Structure 1
Amino acid sequence: MIKVDESDPVGELEPSFPYKDITIRRGVDMKEHYELQSEIGRGKFGTVFKCREKATGLMLAAKFVGIVHKQDRRNVEREVEIMCELQHPRLIQLYDAFEANNAMCFILELVEGGELFERVIGDDFVLTEKAVTIFMRQICEGVQFIHSKNILHLDLKPENILCLTKTGNRIKIIDFGLARKFNPENKLQVLFGTPEFVAPEVVNFDAIGFGTDMWSVGVICYVLLSGLSPFMGETDVETMANVTIAQYDFDDEAFDSISNDAKDFIKKLLVKDHKARMTAAEALKHKWLKTAEQRKPLSKTKLKRYVIKKQWIRATNTILALRRMGAKLD
């Protein structure tokens, strides 16, 4: 059995490389400096490979993103700029960046523990409410730092929470492709994100703020504790309609063994008015994250079904995307 270490990680691990500012190397083939190895991830925004730096032997990850259009280039340039500001142990770190042949290559810290949700559903993995607080505290620490830099992540979801290793309890927040700089004095509106985790103000195209990320943190916590998604409908349209109503409950039997403190933590995040939600700093002071004692193993039946369903949806979307690409090539 792999039982999550229910003690908070003490201190910080030494990063595999020192923090540094990155300048995009244009017109340079990354293969001059790095040796590509196996593919380790694929999504609608790019493909990720394990790679080795030739000069040092350092193992890293190479993420390739197409930049056919000017807007694509602006988007990846913004992502590099934002990642250079986000140097923190809870956030994936950027090591190098290249632009060549209508593609951008991000060289990133290698994180090999896998997605948090996929790891905890393993039959040999014992998940408890206390262990969930360890993960949620680290997520809030990462979000607090992001917000301290006046940046919004805007795509917090289970796929973007990785485990640093396959056996430890440290996590990393990844993927800043949708992140935006945020000036609280100016109105910012966006109309993108993942329907299941996006906040009501995004669906309604209203002004967003730091609370927009905290809504997503609340949804992640709800799903991790119960294996249920509070707003998911049969279609994206139905899901977004549920989000705008912002009504949910703890009536399912999955919540019978969940503490009132955990439910209170979620209640203070899944609030329709984004300005009324807990901030990341307030969340870190919440009683549940500070004193949770529940060590009874949680049922993972619903969580397994949830993860399997998400895997199937992602696989289907990848197949459809590849078919569209093939049609364009033809």
Structure 2
Amino acid sequence: MALPIGTILDGKFKVAQILGEGGMGTVYKVEQLGTNPPYYYAVKELLISSNTSEEERNQSIERFNKEIALLRSLKHPRIAALMLPFQDRGNYYFAMEFVPGRSLEKILEDSKGPLPEEQTIKWMMQVCEALSYIHSRNPPIILRDLKPGNIMITPDNEVQLIDFGIARRFDPNKRTNTENLGTISYASPEHLGSITAPGQRRSAHNPGRPVQTDARADVYSLGATLYHLLTNYEPDPIQTPAPGSVLAKNPKLLTREVNGKRICPVEQVIIKAMQQEREQRFQSADAMRNALLSCLPAEVQARVASPTVQIPAMSPAATVVVKAQPSLSAPASGPVCPRCGFQNRPGAKFCKRDGYQLVQGAVPPPQTRTHQPIQARPARQPLQARSSSILARPVTNSRGIQARPVSPSNGATATRDPMIPYRAGLQYLNSKNYAEAVNQFKISQAQGGPVYDILYSLGRAYRQYGLSVRGIDQKLSQENMKYAAEQFEEALRHNSSAFNAHFQLGMCYRDLELLTQAVQSFKKALSLAPDDAAVYYQLGLTSLEQGSYRDAESYLREGMRLSPEHVLMMVTLGRLYSETRRVPEAIEVLRRAVKAEPESWDAWYQLGRAHMRMKEWKYAVSALERARQTGSQSPLIYSSLANCYLKLNRKAEARQMVDETLKRDRNNTEALRLVKQL
């Protein structure tokens, strides 16, 4: 039975929606408590019936743990990443990256007919990229349950595979699968554990030749999935479609004349992928991708010829390279800050995290490379991530700089060129795989790579990881932030005039609430870049947090002289004026802020609070409602609205806002005070 909406799991996840229920478990969309704006994960729960025998229970738990172990080893932009396994009330769970969008099963259901050919082929080519990755692991990983319901399409039309519940590692020493699970309509003949001769049916007297699934079983399932999407007919179990049958079900499919005969290219791909004898199918997902590419119109082929992620070679020891890109799990494709890597909301003009001016579609720039052959000084003891977290545990020697060994299953090979793991580390960092980024940078460090660049990049990786677990594990977040600060400090010993390192170090100190040190670092950054508005913003914000109002105002005013439309500085200055009882000035600057960026909930919220200080309750309600309309779920908005409604003697609405506040923050002081008054 599914958990009720609102259930709190592991003290940090609130169930927001039931995403799916099946024989293997229930999947929930959960909100991470304490995040603003809200951050979501998908949490999978292991379903164990009370009627289940002890043996079946143990098998289910073992299968669940295998899925966790398998997901932990997979780092690819088209595969939802494992975040955190945990137990709660005796049940087993794990949290994963939440993938927004719809499954192909849902898209097909909503379309009430075959899906567009060109778009479907492009999606299947992306699936091939993910399959090529898992099939190239050592040992290869076989998905075994590829079907429309397990393929998500994000709002950006990107593919993500989401269910590895019955995936298995190929074992060349086995004759057949230990368990034969999967959805029969998409399952290859070998899913049943044996293959019969052509034209023969499997029976008790003819059980067939024992065989286990390999990568070609996923090729069959992909062909069956493509058949379903392009015809809107579920494929017949373990049947190869007859020539002409796909085109008959969807006459709109592209055809071409070859040697005087009319053929349907995509039908031929489906038929080849769904051959009964696996030797007659495409022998790899990469080969099937190439065949799908040839099915597209010539003018389209040129645009999509290169994979959106680089497909690794099929060698078990192949180096995995993924294209740097924003996280596919982001709820919207807002601009990425080139300084700190934070993905902002669409339309944002300045980074919410560091105040840097943004450009739509921006990605982190390459690091400045130094070539001085300086040996890195001994680093201090690195922070240790919990074994249940996604960050690999850094292993050091007595000097603290030894990289941990890399196994072939991680897709890396030893190399004498330190720039190869360094560049791979940058790619992993940009794709938010912080564990592997740290690992690759340490390999480059041990092999004599560029010292400043590596230390600076390690600092970024540890800081970004620390930020990613904030609200989930505060202690772990703080520890990694400390280690990030150490890396930036070490980098500055090698290049004291590095602006970015001073700026990032200041951000670390501020995150650690070491405000005096933060101001010192930002001042050093300012001396190197006196016209950088983001530094003035950080100095103003940090000074305000210290209570140094005069310094804060000075920094913010100078920053706004350089960047008059810097909304975050306007909001901070408005907050400062409110706190120093200069409320009319606060209202004036905050009105400028909401005019410049109407979707900024912070600006509307601060404007509402300023009107509350003036006891202008109707104006305050208007501004706070605008803050709520931006989509923000901050409990501060709701508690402020509750206060305003009570002042206006609208008690029913006040009670509703109190309830909404406490749903989001059970310890909200303002809401708890209002409960007593109501």
Alpha-carbon RMSD: 2.6
Structure 1 ranges of 4+ moved more than 6 A? none
Quick check: 1:226–1:254 contact (8 Å CA) kept in 2?
yes
The CA deviation at 1:222 is 0.8
Give the counterpart letter for 1:258 in structure 2: L
Partner of 1:216: 221
Partner of 1:228: 233
- The alignment status of 1:134 with 2:115, answered yes or no, reads no
Partner of 1:60: 41
Counterparts in 2 of 1:192 and 1:262: CA distance versus 1, 3 Å: same
Quick check: 2:113–2:231 contact (8 Å CA) kept in 1?
no
Matches within 5 A, 1:14-29: none
Q: State the SS of the aligned residue for 1:187.
A: coil
Counterparts in 2 of 1:212 and 1:126: CA distance versus 1, 3 Å: closer
Question: Among 111, 127, 145, which residue is 2:133 paired with?
Answer: 145
Distance of 2:295 and 2:250 partners within structure 1: 19
Partner of 2:512: none
Question: Among 177, 183, 188, which residue is 1:194 paired with?
Answer: 183
- The alignment status of 1:293 with 2:288, answered yes or no, reads no
Quick check: 1:30–1:98 contact (8 Å CA) kept in 2?
no
Q: Which runs of 5+ in 2 are unaligned?
A: 1-7, 195-209, 255-263, 300-678
TM-score (normalised: structure 2): 0.35
Quick check: 1:230–1:249 contact (8 Å CA) kept in 2?
no
Partner of 2:616: none
Q: Which has the higher contact order (CA 8 A, sep 6+)?
A: 1
Distance of 1:152 and 1:262 partners within structure 2: 24
Q: State the SS of the aligned residue for 2:182.
A: coil
Question: Among 154, 157, 161, which residue is 1:164 paired with?
Answer: 154
The CA deviation at 1:101 is 3.5
Q: State the SS of the aligned residue for 1:50.
A: strand
Distance of 1:226 and 1:247 partners within structure 2: 12
Query: Which sits farther off after the overlay, 147-156 or 91-100?
Result: 91-100
The CA deviation at 1:125 is 10
Question: Among 63, 70, 87, which residue is 2:75 paired with?
Answer: 87
Note the alpha carbon deviations across 1:240-293, whole angstroms, 9 max, x for none: xxx1x645443363233323210121122011112331110111221x324502
Quick check: 2:240–2:271 contact (8 Å CA) kept in 1?
no
- The alignment status of 1:255 with 2:250, answered yes or no, reads yes
Q: How many residues get paired?
A: 253
Quick check: 1:160–1:173 contact (8 Å CA) kept in 2?
yes
The CA deviation at 1:107 is 0.6
Q: State the SS of the aligned residue for 2:297.
A: coil
Note the alpha carbon deviations across 1:40-87, whole angstroms, 9 max, x for none: 322222222221223544211222113572111111110001001121
The CA deviation at 1:124 is 11
Distance of 1:180 and 1:186 partners within structure 2: 12
Partner of 2:276: 272
Partner of 1:44: 23
Distance of 1:185 and 1:214 partners within structure 2: 22
Quick check: 1:270–1:277 contact (8 Å CA) kept in 2?
yes
Distance of 1:90 and 1:135 partners within structure 2: 11
Q: State the SS of the aligned residue for 1:146.
A: helix
**Higher share in strand:** 1
Q: Percent identity?
A: 25
Quick check: 1:34–1:54 contact (8 Å CA) kept in 2?
yes
Give the counterpart letter for 1:33 in structure 2: K
Distance of 1:72 and 1:172 partners within structure 2: 25
- The alignment status of 1:203 with 2:174, answered yes or no, reads no
Structure of greater Rg: 2
Q: State the SS of the aligned residue for 2:44.
A: strand
Distance of 1:266 and 1:142 partners within structure 2: 19
Quick check: 1:66–1:102 contact (8 Å CA) kept in 2?
no
Partner of 1:34: 13
Distance of 1:127 and 1:192 partners within structure 2: 28
Counterparts in 2 of 1:123 and 1:273: CA distance versus 1, 3 Å: closer
Q: State the SS of the aligned residue for 1:39.
A: strand
Distance of 2:111 and 2:289 partners within structure 1: 30
Counterparts in 2 of 1:294 and 1:130: CA distance versus 1, 3 Å: farther
Quick check: 1:62–1:108 contact (8 Å CA) kept in 2?
yes
Quick check: 2:12–2:32 contact (8 Å CA) kept in 1?
yes
Quick check: 2:188–2:221 contact (8 Å CA) kept in 1?
yes
Matches within 5 A, 1:178-189: 178-184=166-172, 186-189=174-177
Distance of 1:125 and 1:256 partners within structure 2: 12
Partner of 2:93: 105
The CA deviation at 1:123 is 5.5
Note the alpha carbon deviations across 1:167-207, whole angstroms, 9 max, x for none: x3111111111010113454342422111111111235331
Q: Which runs of 5+ in 1 are unaligned?
A: 1-28, 232-238, 296-330
The CA deviation at 1:217 is 0.3
Partner of 1:154: 144
Counterparts in 2 of 1:249 and 1:203: CA distance versus 1, 3 Å: farther
Give the counterpart letter for 2:162 in structure 1: I
Counterparts in 2 of 1:156 and 1:123: CA distance versus 1, 3 Å: closer
Quick check: 2:104–2:151 contact (8 Å CA) kept in 1?
yes
Counterparts in 2 of 1:172 and 1:253: CA distance versus 1, 3 Å: same
Q: State the SS of the aligned residue for 2:186.
A: coil
